[in-house]
Chain A
Amino acid sequence: MELIVKTSGLTKHTRRKAIVSNINLQIRKGEIYGLLGQNGAGKTTLMKLLTGITKPSSGEIELFGKRLTDHSKSLLKRVGSIIEYPIFFEHLTAMENLKLHCEYLGYYDEKGIKQALDLVQLKGIEDKVVKEFSLGMKQRLGIARAVITKPELIIFDEPTNGLDPIGIKDTRDLILMLNKEYGITFILSSHILAEMEQVVDRIGVINNGRLINEVTLEDIRKERTEYIEIVTTDVQKTLYILESELQLTNMKMIQGNRIRIYDLTYSQTDISKLLILHDIGIEEIQKHTSSLEDYFYTQINGGNRIG
């Protein structure tokens, strides 16, 4: 499989500390790769390194099979990006900003600009100065700018930041469309894990500047555990009945009054009926699925979830 991005021992440090440390990343063509990590984990720095904005202290970056150096910056023509937040020349109009971007990249296609604006549903704003734009509009314009030249790799740092729910859905659909129809490879980072879960194929977890794990979403889905959580008026009696009547053993009591049943042989209805028959009051009963958020939390905190 063709590799679009490959880093080996990629490190960036300041005088005092390492921001990104020994990252070995391999991103395949056509993949949507998500970077997960807390604030300050090093996601943005990693993205800045991949887009040539920051130079690495050591290590190598290969884009499209060629090493990225100051002499091979032409590789960046094939990359579109929004890092941190969309930056524009605020005193210029949206159109002037987009044209400027195209001129720097040596891309001259007025139609392309119009198409990109249509893709992000920004119309009739071409002649407005960017200073007057809301954060959401700037984000849309940033996405338009990133896709204008139809790059092969797009790097989005928090692409849904500042967007309303419709904007978030539109962005997600746009990413999926660009990926499916044009085969564009994406590297995304987001704090909204549920959003990420709906888009990415593979996830790299970054903590303290290190890539601590890489998993496919498929793997997370396989590992995903489901359970029924009950809160009753009498916990001890509930446990006794569930064990004796339903022969359930895979259970856990948490927070002193909650019971988690991992054995899903019996449905919520069966359990409710049984407890009512034994005159036990049910305050709460719900089926849960451990999400990407749980996975992320476990990775970062080593599973020390307060529960």
Chain B
Amino acid sequence: MVKLIWLEWKKLKRQTVISEIIIYMLIIMIMPVFFINAVMPAFGESYASAIELNFYIQMGFVLFGGSLINQVFIEEYKNKTMALSFGYPISRKKLYLAKILFIALCIFVVTVISYIFTGIVTYTIDQFFPFINGQPTSSDILTYFGSIFLNSLIVTLISFVPLFFLEFG
């Protein structure tokens, strides 16, 4: 299965996907600063509110999930390369599972990394140009890092919603 997941990565238009990830990360990284300053200053009342805001912002990776589903599933059906895979000595269940796990792994890892980067960037900017009241408490930091995995998992699961609407031939 690990090999099948790796092969999904090899088949991908990697340059496109990597550029997409960089763009998403850059935008999401500065979103808390932008949102608190320009849209809703209420989230800057404390680090606890800013952490809550960040969770909603990271939901942006659901869009990245949609784009991956398009490349890994829809494009393969459109270009008929899916038929090529069906001719290999691998059961369809395994082929689909490899695709689903690959997408899940990508979204999860990218969201986790983005979570960490956004946290660091937001904290650093706040140190130079304060826009969040006070400093993060140890409980804030624990909550933040403690919720990274659960929240990334939620983003990953939500990303799969469009897959239920696909009909496979």
Contacts and interface: CB of A to CB of B under 8 A. Distances in A.
Contacts of B90: 73, 104
B91 A87 contact: no
B89 A73 contact: yes
A301 B88 CA distance: 38
A51 B87 CA distance: 6
Interface residues of B, number: 19
18 contacts: A53-B86, A70-B91, A73-B90, A75-B89, A76-B88, A76-B89, A83-B83, A84-B80, A87-B79, A87-B80, A89-B11, A89-B79, A89-B81, A100-B7, A100-B11, A103-B7, A105-B88, A105-B89
A133 B138 CA distance: 60
Contact of A53 (B7, B79, B83, B89): B83
A199 interface: no
A219 B13 CA distance: 52
Contacts of B11: 89, 92, 100
Contacts of A51: 87
Contact of B91 (A48, A53, A73, A84): A73
Interface of B: 3, 7, 10-11, 13, 79-81, 83-93
Max count, chain A CB within 10 A of own CB: residue among B3, B80, B90:
B90
A103 B6 CA distance: 10
Contacts of A67: none
A227 B88 CA distance: 50
Sort chain A's interface into a size bin: 20 to 34
Interface of A: 48, 51-54, 70-71, 73-77, 79, 81, 83-84, 87-92, 96, 100, 103-105
B9 to A, nearest CB: 11
A104 B98 CA distance: 12
B7 A76 contact: no
A75 B88 CA distance: 9
Given A51-B87, A79-B87, A91-B13, 20 more contacts: A48-B83, A52-B86, A52-B87, A53-B87, A70-B93, A73-B91, A74-B89, A75-B89, A76-B89, A77-B89, A84-B80, A87-B79, A88-B81, A89-B79, A89-B81, A90-B79, A100-B11, A104-B7, A104-B88, A105-B89
Nearest to B93: A70
A92 to B, nearest CB: 7
B85 A104 contact: yes
What 8 pairs between A and B have smallest CB-CB spacing? A76-B89, A104-B88, A73-B89, A74-B89, A53-B86, A51-B87, A77-B89, A53-B83
A195 B87 CA distance: 27
Nearest to B95: A104
A90 B79 CA distance: 9
A73 B10 CA distance: 23
A105 B89 CA distance: 7
